Structure 1
Amino acid sequence: MSLKRKPPAGNVRRVAAMGSNLRGTLTNKAGRIVQFESFAERSLLLRLERDHTVRDYASQPETFHSEEVPRYTPDFLVWKQDGCVEIHEVTRTERRKRAGHQAREQLASTICQTRGWRYVVHTETDLPQGYELSNLLSLVRYRPSVYRVEQLEETAICLLGERKMALSVLTREMVSQTGLPQPQVAASLCHALWHTYFMTNWQQPILLQASFTPQAQIWLANIENGVCS
């Protein structure tokens, strides 16, 4: 979705163009339009989108004011599945040393504490990077439910049992057993990995040119009794 003059519903401001920064919008898991104004913010949204403990999140939620801070609009408001609410800010380590930035963080921390919320600051040290980031960027396209095939998930559970398997090997066995085309099987597995129906190591490459890498493995978080009966 391209940016328009007015910000999306629930946003107090429209993200600004700053140099060559990446900015844009996405529709999140709850159907909400969310803005981002840097690649760092985009990477955080990928993690929030995949995090099953996160129910919903919004961008540019409100503007804080104080005598020391004339105006501060934090990046994101996050609602967790357990009812907790968090304000998330994305910045860089060197910026946190500035007096003005420290005043903003103190203001936000105080407001969040008063409301029973949590204030979370992200920097380049804890945002997705390396293989985790490349995997998130590769698999995000498979998050829509159109890729989910429950029959294939049940087949994967039966084939996996209590062991780990290479994703490429599992895909071949599922194609052989179900007769479904390889692209559909692979897409279904990618969807299941994105939504944490199955586990994998996100710190290793998963996809390379739309094919599973030889080292990418898959396994069950919990064994489901009765599925294979």
Structure 2
Amino acid sequence: MLHPFHPMQKLAEQLLQQAEEAFAELPDQAGVVHGRRRITQGARGRRTSLFPSRKNGITIALESQVEVSHCLLLEQNKHVIGYRCQPLEIPYAPGRCYYPDFLARTQDGRWRVSEIKPDKKQLDAENQQRFETVSTLLAHCGFEFCLVDENDLPRGTHLDNLYWLYCRSATRSWAAQEIELAQLLLSNHSHPTTFGEAQSQFIREGLPPSLVEYLLFHGQLAANFDRLIQLGTPVWSVA
């Protein structure tokens, strides 16, 4: 255990306080939560965006379209209970601070820091050294660090399907009884049904058809995401 006055212990306390403050921050009048490094929407040369997070109950300002893909994976991840963008200011060298892209809080109480880059293999020597230093500092402070690039994220048709399913299924809250009944109905099929047939079955049982989208997005139903999901797309239960 580090001494209470050890510099690393002080940094750990500062980061934990920043993390708690980030999750306690209230949205502005537009319903958007900004991080410690404010992202200006519509800035020239940047593909900024606003992401309506169902899991967080807020809209998050993002710096790139690649970050949208990461948000979708965080929304899917059942172990993640919440996340924020640009949440921390990490001093890693004299006069130098680093602002990571994401901070996620997991069900078991861990903090996970993520940095999103187009290609990890194309990082210059300065960035490689910076991320190695930051990773070591965070590990000593009890935070995980992960460097993510486009190869780790859904792209193309897979991304289009995920975003469509998310937008369709995030319009309401789902009761546990609804989800359990839907899973029971689909588990009775000995072979794959189709997207449209599953919707029709839900309607007959008094369930909203968009519950199919919810189950697909959260991995409780499976389909081939490399092709656009349509009414005739085969879907099947995940054991």
Does the alignment reach a TM-score above 0.5?
yes
Unmatched segments (≥5 aa) in structure 2: 1-26
Unmatched segments (≥5 aa) in structure 1: 222-229
* Among 186, 193, 203, the residue aligned to 2:216: 193
Deviation at 1:44, TM superposition (A): 0.5
How many angstroms apart in 2 are the aligned matches of 1:3 and 1:46?
Answer: 23
How many angstroms apart in 1 are the aligned matches of 2:182 and 2:154?
Answer: 31
Alignment of 1:1-229 (within 5 A): 8=33, 11-16=35-40, 17-67=43-93, 70-93=96-119, 96-141=122-167, 142-146=169-173, 150=177, 154=181, 157-161=184-188, 163=190, 164-175=192-203, 177-178=204-205, 185-196=208-219, 198-201=220-223, 203-205=225-227, 207-208=229-230, 212=231, 214-221=232-239
How many angstroms apart in 2 are the aligned matches of 1:151 and 1:77?
Answer: 31
Contact residue 148 and residue 188 of structure 1 kept, 8 A: no
Question: Which amino acid is 2:221 matched to?
Answer: M
Contact residue 25 and residue 36 of structure 1 kept, 8 A: yes
1:224 maps to which residue? none
Q: 1:108 to 1:152 in 2, by over 3 A?
A: closer
How many angstroms apart in 2 are the aligned matches of 1:93 and 1:103?
Answer: 16
What TM-score, normalized by structure 2, do the two folds share? 0.73
How many angstroms apart in 2 are the aligned matches of 1:173 and 1:8?
Answer: 39
Where 1:145 maps in the other structure, the secondary structure is coil
Encode CA deviations 1:94-115: one digit per residue, 9 max, x unaligned: 6753122112202220121112
Q: Which has the higher strand share?
A: 2
How many angstroms apart in 2 are the aligned matches of 1:83 and 1:149?
Answer: 23
Deviation at 1:219, TM superposition (A): 1.0
Question: Which amino acid is 1:191 matched to?
Answer: Y
Where 1:122 maps in the other structure, the secondary structure is strand
1:226 maps to which residue? none
How many angstroms apart in 1 are the aligned matches of 2:50 and 2:182?
Answer: 38
What TM-score, normalized by structure 1, do the two folds share? 0.76
Identity %: 22
Question: Which amino acid is 2:33 matched to?
Answer: P
